[in-house]
Chains A and B, each alone.
Chain A
Amino acid sequence: MTATKEMPTPAGATPPASARVSPPKPRRRGGFGERLTPYLLILPALVAVLVLLGWPTIQMLLISLRRLDLRELVTGKMVWIGLANYTDTLSDPEFWSVTIRTILFTAALVAATLVVALLIAVLMRHLNPVIRICVQVSLVLAWAVPVIATTTVFQWIFDQQYGILNKTLDKLGFHSFIGYSWFSTGGSTLTVIGLLVLWQAVPFVAFTLYAGLIGVPREQYEAAGIDGAGPFQTFRAVSWPAIRPILTMVTFLSVLWDFNMFGQVWAIRQGGPDGQSTTLAILQYLKGIAGSHFGSAAAIATIMLVLLLAVTARYVQLLVRTKDGEIA
């Protein structure tokens, strides 16, 4: 099954142990050339990240200190205005309500994604093979269908008059859903967007967690069963430690993706009605592209970056330390 399981080393099968299986020894026999090797190997990646991501990010930081409207963009004139973009943004009460909304929405979305995905992962473990394949195929389909296509389908499903959802609810006896508008309040609009994102994000997380779960040798479960542990206790004692590092990773990724998400929110209602489903990414777009104030848009993006750093700092620390622990 897994790369490690194909190995003769028994320890390879257990994740926590395998981490300690291969402590790469510092190679001392090499001279200058040998010491240079790792740098040569990471060089392409380093250059790519620095030039293609790092440079634009630094540019973004610099732009946030400039007035950059269409006029300046076209003439190439530099107009430095210090922190004005930041003070303008931070003194706008709308910015704060949008920030709080974005944080809450991201938190709810990440939590929902993780819970649903974990339940599905556990479920997959206990299903008979035929139904498991059904579940897996539908997950793969949901994952592989391009985001643009999914978003269109969701808009269509939730259509007030011709959407299949309202028609079905009506058939089931909930007649008040005839012509029900899912997009007349910010809350229900965000809920639909949340469902859309869940549908797209859960497959990846579920597969990853499932992979982690089946990495745990069956004997460990059996041992727990013999000890008389209930299903919940077994999960806590056996499964949980095995998937915790994976959870850390997917949480980190989900926070990144959901916090910065733009396409889905914009496609559904452009952040409406009355700006009630506007998130920071939408605000950034409204300022930047719609309003052609690229300076203030860059300021908002920078604030987003800082917020994200603050939220994920612990995870980053944790991730780097786990990795480093293997080496020390």
Chain B
Amino acid sequence: MKRWLKLVAGAAAITLATAGCAGSGGGDNASGSGGTGTGTLTVWLMTGSAPESLTGALNKEFEAAHAGVKVDYQIQQWNGIQQKLTTALAGDNPPDVIEVGNTQTPAFAADSVLEDLTSSVNDLNGAQWLAGLKASGEYDGKTYGVPFYAANREVLYRKDMFAAAGITAPPTSNAEWLADITKLKAKFGSDPQFQPLYLPGQYWYSLLSFIWDNGGDIAKADGKSFKSTLDSAGSKAGLEFYKQLVDTSGTTAPKDNDEANPQQAGIYGGGKVAMMIGTPGEVATAAKTDPSIAGKTGAFAIPGKTAGQPAPVFLGGSNLVVPINSKNKDLAKAYLKLLSGDKYMTQMAAAGYVPGTSSDVSALDKDPLGAVMAKASKSGRAVPTSPKWGEVESGQNPLKDMLTAYLTGKKTVDQATADANAALDKIIGG
């Protein structure tokens, strides 16, 4: 009993003390956001995007240029971001600049909760915007999102293993790729843990490359409405090639999960995998397991059907947007101007990203893995710009179900694509 009372008393004291602090903090915020020239500019970027050195310098430079303005910079988690953004946008005092995933942007744009930035495009280096990202920030002929950065996938491979298997040059076509997988298997196959290509079943970003390469697509736009085309011949061919890769490689990666569960870079780092499809950044994760692996890793573009013509890649990335309820729109635009300039875009490239508003990728080209990515990004493509696409990714993704059902043999290619097509139409169709 006594112990319990002590606990109560202690906690009560803490509660009282902090209630006071929190109250005063809230007051500051409210009073600071009113003005146009001065006040607080709230900026939300995602975890793992711009490096701290960049944001530190950027915010300092911005504050120096705008006397009396303070940048309130917050890093957001991916987990639960949909709820966080929804509620934040609904507030009467939303953040002023937000990083939004490129596949989420159309939904926000369509619901008119973002500031129309069309008139500022030229100010923001508009001529150099990355094509694949640009489309995701546009809705109904207007521009709502400024491309921030993108990353796309390539095949990361072990140079030493390729050499040992007698492969002199990386494959440039699907046929060569499959042949090299067979060669690697012949060389290292005696080790039951060896996998020529690690390819988890629900890695739908990779699937997109094969679908596009075979002339298929996820969906077809018809004016403002969309009709899914996963049951087209090209889409089926892409899915079939995916299975061919999985079967030829004999990968033990889970067929019912994606590249993040378990983390494929960790498995690659284990040293029993000759190739994985990933972004250059994943090599750093693999190096946590085995620091020597970075030096042994090379990259080539995801091969296509035709030799020398790599498959198109999915451009994953982010846009920067200004909420329509922002109280500091002019400041927000000034911030975007600074961030989209060459100085900071070069730093994004140096951090390993394809910059969104600058075509200068020289900083990225310095790294051989980055160079391959930068080159492939030119043929980068995006998911349908349907405002409902966000629902596909934050909800139940039919493409993942399709892959698992087909790869595990539960459904034929016709059945799997037909079901996925119907499920996708239910979300984005109409």
Contact = CB atoms under 8 A, between A and B. Distances in A.
> CB–CB under 8 A between A and B in the complex?
yes
A103 to B, nearest CB: 21
B404 interface: yes
Contact of B89 (A74, A181, A278): A74
A278 B401 CA distance: 14
Interface string B248-267: 00001111110001100000
B306 interface: no
Nearest to A269: B256
B104 to A, nearest CB: 11
Contacts of B253: 161
B70 interface: no
B113 A181 contact: no
A302 B405 CA distance: 34
Interface residues of A, number: 27
Contacts of B391: 286, 290-292
B90 A273 contact: no
A69 B90 CA distance: 11
A160 interface: yes
Contact of A270 (B107, B256, B395): B395
B401 A161 contact: no
Contacts of A159: 254, 257, 261-262
Contact of A274 (B113, B405, B408): B405
Nearest to A69: B111
Contacts of B292: none
B113 A71 contact: yes
Interface in B258-286: 261-262
B225 interface: no
Contacts of A291: 388, 391, 395
A263 to B, nearest CB: 11
B24 interface: no
Contact of A184 (B89, B112, B408): B408
A286 B257 CA distance: 20
Contact of B254 (A181, A273, A286): A181
B395 A290 contact: yes
A155 interface: yes
A177 to B, nearest CB: 13
A93 to B, nearest CB: 11
A273 B394 contact: no
Given A70-B113, A274-B419, A291-B388, A160 B394 contact: no
Contacts of A199: none
A313 interface: no
Interface in A161-202: 161-162, 179, 181-184
B112 A71 contact: yes
Contact of B107 (A179, A278, A292): A292
Contact of A289 (B257, B394, B400): B394
A286 B90 contact: no
B83 A289 contact: yes
A15 interface: no
Question: Main SS of the interface on chain A?
Answer: loop
B410 interface: yes
Given A161-B262, A291-B391, A271 B396 contact: yes
A74 B395 CA distance: 22
Contact of A74 (B257, B324, B390, B404): B324
A160 B256 contact: yes
A183 to B, nearest CB: 5
Interface string B74-117: 00000000110010011000000000000000011001110000
Contacts of A69: 111
Contacts of A245: none
A215 interface: no
Contacts of B405: 273-274
A69 B423 CA distance: 22
Given A273-B256, A273-B401, A286-B396, A292 B410 contact: no
B125 interface: no
Contacts of B112: 71, 74
A171 to B, nearest CB: 16
A170 to B, nearest CB: 13
A182 B86 CA distance: 34
A73 B90 contact: yes
A92 to B, nearest CB: 10
Nearest to A286: B395
A289 B90 CA distance: 13
Interface in A266-305: 270-275, 278, 286, 289-292
A184 B400 contact: no
B49 interface: no
Contacts of B90: 70, 73-74
Contact of A70 (B107, B261, B394, B408): B107
A271 B423 CA distance: 14
Contacts of A183: 256-257
Contacts of A290: 82, 390-391, 394-395
B261 A155 contact: yes
A111 B262 CA distance: 34
A179 B256 CA distance: 10
Interface string B391-428: 10011100011001100101000000001000100000
Contact of A181 (B82, B255, B324, B401): B255
A168 to B, nearest CB: 17
A74 B85 CA distance: 11
Given A74-B113, A270-B396, A161 B252 contact: yes
B200 to A, nearest CB: 9
Contacts of A292: 86, 107, 111, 391
B297 interface: no
A7 B136 CA distance: 72
B325 interface: yes
Given A289-B394, A292-B86, A273 B404 contact: yes
A162 B262 contact: yes
Contacts of B388: 291
A161 B254 contact: yes
Contacts of B262: 159, 161-162
Nearest to B112: A71
Interface of A: 69-71, 73-74, 155, 159-162, 179, 181-184, 270-275, 278, 286, 289-292
14 contacts: A69-B111, A70-B89, A70-B108, A71-B113, A73-B86, A74-B89, A155-B261, A161-B252, A161-B254, A181-B404, A184-B255, A270-B396, A273-B401, A292-B391
Closest 4 CB pairs of A and B: A160-B254, A290-B395, A70-B111, A71-B111
Interface of B: 82-83, 86, 89-90, 107-108, 111-113, 252-257, 261-262, 324-325, 388, 390-391, 394-396, 400-401, 404-405, 408, 410, 419, 423
Given A71-B112, A74-B112, A273-B400, 9 more contacts: A70-B86, A70-B90, A73-B86, A182-B256, A184-B255, A184-B404, A272-B396, A274-B401, A274-B423
